[in-house]
């Protein structure tokens, strides 16, 4: 079979299988030229991680810290609200499944406070991640 100046062939043997092969005749493209390796520096963000499982909190903190972010972790929704009243954060990662006050209720309370309503909150759970 010939298509677009290329070849596709099939060699099939009963009881042994089939072999498919092709040759493509392509022109050299100038669209994708190599670019210089330029490092992008992100501004350090102040991030609050609300996670009741300490191992998850540790992993998230290490990962974000390795990117130069300033990370604070707390274990509950009540602690999150208390620390937000004292410190400024650019972003919050919120576990959904927590005892006492879950992540959804904590987020509702944070968003109800005018001065903190613009902080992006990313909900994290084993099955999804979503931004509110």
The bridge status of strand 91-95 relative to strand 70-74 is: unpaired
Q: Walk me through the domains of the chain, giving residue ranges and CATH numbers.
A: 46-131 (3.40.50.2300)
The whole-number pLDDT of residue 111 equals: 92
Whether the model clears a pTM of 0.85, i.e. scores above it, the answer is no
- For 16-49, b/e burial (b = at least 16 CB within 10 A) is eeeeeeeeeeeeeeeeeeeeeeeeeeeeeeebbb
Per-residue pLDDT of the chain (132 residues), as tens digits, is 455 667 778 888 888 888 877 777 767 666 655 656 656 566 789 999 999 999 999 999 999 999 889 999 999 999 999 999 999 999 999 999 888 899 999 999 999 998 888 899 998 765 555 555
């Amino acid at each position: 079979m010939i298509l677009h100046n290329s070849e596709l062939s099939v060699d099939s043997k009963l009881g042994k299988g089939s072999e498919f092969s092709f040759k493509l005749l392509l022109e050299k493209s100038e669209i994708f030229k190599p670019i210089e390796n330029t490092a992008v520096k992100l501004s350090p963000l102040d991030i609050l991680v609300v996670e009741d499982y300490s191992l998850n909190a540790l992993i998230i903190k290490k990962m974000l810290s390795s990117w130069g972010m300033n990370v604070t972790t707390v274990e509950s929704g009540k602690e999150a609200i208390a620390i937000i009243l004292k410190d400024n954060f650019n972003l919050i990662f919120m576990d959904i499944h927590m005892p006492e006050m879950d992540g959804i209720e904590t987020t509702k309370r944070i968003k109800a406070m005018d001065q903190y309503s613009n902080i992006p909150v990313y909900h994290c759970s084993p099955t999804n991640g979503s931004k509110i």
